[in-house]
Structure 1
Amino acid sequence: MTADPRDLATTLHEATANLHAYIEHRAEEIAAPRIAQAEAATAAQAAEMKTNFDFEMRRLGDLRDELRRHLLVMEQQNEQLRWLAQYLPEPLKPLALGARTAPRPPQTLTADWLALVEKLAGEVPGGGLLAGEVPGGGLLAEIGDDRGLLIEAAAAVARLSQTSAPRIQRKIRVGFAKAARLLDLLEQCGIVGPPQEKGTREVLVKIEDLPAVLEKLGITTPERNTTS
């Protein structure tokens, strides 16, 4: 007896539909874990990028504030120079007032005039001569009232191989802006290196060498013990 072609067509159609459904199901089973893994990796990468972006934005804000502070210091130094210029010999006045090239040393630059400058140094607005002209003044003036915190931060990072602003922030319990400033000061002191990937810095001074390094820089205080 010959099979009905319509029955064969129906059976073939059902088999094809079942095969398609099976293929789709298996494809979903195979692809689902890979899709989930890719989504998780993308989410983690996005979170890391956001963290890095937020860190760089905070650091940019700190650098902007630091630049403003330096500009203020420069304005104060210019004011000191303008005040001191009135006591300078005529050949030196253009240099103090912003001349681009230094004149030849005048013959009038005598011991008497140098003694006058020493006498006037204590009367300069803002106190003393320019920070860079005082032994150790440049760095010490940059540190200012943060000397105690700087020593505390130095003692904390000297026990590590790498450090960062957030780590200093946690170690000595200060704000992020203050921690970033202390980190920059530590770099100027030669205690940490320049920024590396993700804002970390290599620590260059071991804890046992720290007191000698600080003493050489003139950064000492009797209230803090850097070896404890």
Structure 2
Amino acid sequence: MFDLSPIPVPDLSGKTVLVTGAGRGIGAVLAGLLVARGARVYAGVLGCADPDWSHHLEGATPLDLDVTDAGAVASAMTRIGAEAGRLDALVNNAGAIAPIGHIDTLSTDALRHSYEVNALGMHRMVCAALPLLRASKGVVVNAGTGAATTPMEGWTAYCNSKAAARMMTMMFAKDLEGGEVQFFFIGIPPTDTEMQAQIRAAGLNPISKIAKEELVRPEVPASVMAWLCGPDARKLDLVLLDVRDDFFKAIMG
């Protein structure tokens, strides 16, 4: 359906990268790819003390990181500063889609968690990382979605919070324009992850009907996000990107 494949990722030796939501799906694949390309990777995982965690992310440094917890975020940045002395890229990959349901069936409070993770958590992570990112003239890569601009049946929590994340990325780029940190919001097509399994189980809107074998492999968006952490991405002057952009399709293997 999408006819997409991974793109080549440059050598990232000497770079330090923090990936949130790295315990599974795209985040886990991304962390492994960054390690393979020579980066020093800090993998933010909620509850990474779980002994089953280690087989996902060999070569990365685990951080028990809840992006909704200001103390946990501050501790993560302190540790990275002390151990690595730098942070070249922050990838805000952590995301939440629940609850899925028609808007009139959801309480206002039910929407809170998605906003806390997708929008406020992203803001919290970026603000905490800025001192290190400014010092390294680094980059922030925020995981996006077409749902940030397109209403999808049953996805009130996700569409609205991701729309907020999209605008927040643009606001960081606007308010810090001329500074030393670059910002990207990268649209990700329907991908074979556990989140997509939740979507399929809910059975609402056309995305839930996409057969598993037709979904994009996690390696595809992971490779694009990894590329955005590298030197060639510094030449881009866009904030809003999509894995399906012709620019990326042209360099897919």
TM interval, short-chain normalised? under 0.3
Q: Which has the larger radius of gyration?
A: 1
Q: Which has the higher helix share?
A: 1
Q: TM-score under structure 2 normalisation?
A: 0.23
Higher RCO, 1 vs 2 (CA within 8 Å, ≥6 residues apart): 2
Richer in strand (by share): 2
